[in-house]
Amino acid sequence: MDKKPAATIDEYLSVVPEPARTTLEKMRATIRAAVPEAAEAITYGMPTFKYRGRGLVAFAVFKKHCSLFPMSGAVIEKFKGELEGLHTSKGTLQFPQDKPLPAALVKKIIKARMAEIEAKYKG
């Protein structure tokens, strides 16, 4: 297989089929609005946002779902009550390809992850 991994988030999204593409574009816009200073990158083949040089969140499409990776089990645990109905694991939130996560929830997750990164900088 000669499939070359995407070099940018735009490149990644350009080959994602609908409805997942629209869902992930909404996710990207929500993340950018919440943290305009975050740097975009592709890490482990996934669109990733970095804050202060550290992984903030990443997202990806899979065969039957999309995922948000908060890069912190503690953040997922913190919002467990708000994540009912979603498949979660230690490092990921899975959601349907045609149903973006609520923007308010994504912003809360991002702010909690930013607080973790800030605490590590101070420590």
Does residue 75 belong to any structural domain of this protein? yes
Q: What is the pTM of this model?
A: 0.92
CA distance 45 to 42: 6
What is residue 4's predicted lDDT score, i.e. its pLDDT?
Answer: 76
Does residue 53 belong to any structural domain of this protein? yes
CA distance 9 to 14: 8
What is residue 121's predicted lDDT score, i.e. its pLDDT?
Answer: 75
List the CATH number of the domain containing 85. 3.90.1150.200
Q: Where are the alpha helices (DSSP H) in the chain?
A: 9-14, 20-34, 73-78, 103-122
Structural domain span for residue 118: 9-122
Residue 21, Cβ neighbours under 10 Å: how many? 17
pLDDT in tens, the chain (123 residues): 346 789 999 999 999 999 999 999 999 999 999 999 999 999 999 999 999 999 999 999 999 999 999 999 899 999 988 888 888 988 899 999 999 999 999 999 999 999 999 998 775
Number of domains in the chain: 1
Contact 47, 13 (CB under 8 A): yes
Contact 16, 24 (CB under 8 A): yes
